[in-house]
Amino acid sequence: MYAFTYHRASGLRQATNMLNKLEDAKLLAGGQTLLPTMKQRLAAPKNLIDLSRIDGLSGVELRGRSLVIGALTSHHDVATSPVVQQNLPALAQLASMIGDPAVRYVGTIGGSVANNDPNADYPAAVLGLGATVITTARRIAADDFFKSLFETALEADEIITKISFPIPKKAAYVKFRNQASRYALVGVFVAKRPSEIRVAVTGAGASGVFRVPSFEEALKKRFSPKSLEGLTVSADGLASDIHGSAEYRAHLIGVMARRAVAQAG
C-alpha cells in the first residue's frame, strides 16, 4: 500500500466538496474491493474519503411498494433485515451469498453498486429489479446506470445515497460461483413485476451486467422454467477466462435462469 491521506466526512455536502477539491480522491464505503486493491499497489488514490460516519446513509425502509436501502447499509444488514426478508426475500438471499461473513459485515450496497465489478452480485439485483439509484444529484434508472466494467453513470462528484427497489411479484437470484474467488461466474436475477419481466446477468458479460431480452420475452408469455427450454444466449460479448469460456458461460446463463425462475415459483 502506498501512503495516502484519510479523511472522514461528517456530511454529504462535505464529502462532495472533498471529492471536488482533493486531488485523486476516492470514496471509502466499506472498502472490501478498494482496500485489497490498494494493498496490492494496484490502486493508489492520494486521498480516501470515509463515508461511514455520515448519519442517515444506512438502513432499510419500506416506502409504499418500494424498498429503499441506504447506500452504507452492510450486506449483513440487508441479508438479516426482517423488512427485506419479508418483502424482497430474493435480495436478502443475494446479500447473504456475497463474499464471506467478514466481507458482509463491512461491505456496503452503495459501495458495491458504485464499483460495478462485473462479477459482483448487487448489479444483477439493481438491474433485474429495475431499481432506481438515488444520488446526491439525481435519480438514475438501473437501465441507465451500469455502463461498462467498473464504469457507471456517476459523475466524479456524485455520491450514491440510496437505492430504491420496487417490490416484484416474484423474484430469485441464482449464481454459479468461480471456485477460486467465489464471485459469480454467472449469476442470474429474474423478477416478475406487474409491468414487465426482467432477467439480469452478472459475471458473464465482457462489459458487465446485462439483460437478456429473449428470455424476458419468453417468460412474459408464461413465467415458467419450461418457457426457457431450448433458448440460448450467444457467446459473443461474453467474458472468457480460465474459469469459464464464453461458451460455458453462455450455457450457464440458461441453466441459472431456469433455476432462478423455478426458485421464484
Residues that bind another protein (CB under 8 A): 1-2, 40-41, 176, 179-181, 242-245, 248, 251-252, 255
- Residue in the structure block whose three cell numbers are 493508489: 44
Min CB(131)–another protein separation in Å: 28
Scanning the chain, the segments in alpha helix (DSSP H) are 12-21, 34-39, 75-80, 82-87, 89-96, 101-106, 109-115, 122-128, 142-145, 213-221, 246-264
Q: Closest approach of Cβ 242 to another protein, in Å?
A: 5
Residue among 38 and 84 whose Cβ is closer to another protein: 38
How far apart are the C-alpha atoms of 235 and 38, rounded to whole Å? Answer: 33
Nearer to another protein, 44 or 137 (CB): 44
Minimum CB distance to another protein smaller for 41 or for 221: 41
Closest separation in Å from C-beta 223 to another protein: 20
Nearer to another protein, 179 or 195 (CB): 179
d(CA 92, CA 69): 12
Work out whether strand 5-8 and strand 47-50 pair parallel, antiparallel, or are unpaired.
parallel
Q: How far is CA 36 from CA 1, 109, 223, in A?
A: 9, 18, 41
Residue 195 C-beta: closest distance to another protein, Å: 31
Which of residues 49 and 174 has its CB atom nearest to another protein in the complex?
A: 174
| Angle (CA) 201 62 187, round 5° | 10
Q: How far is the CB of 262 from another protein (least distance, A)?
A: 12
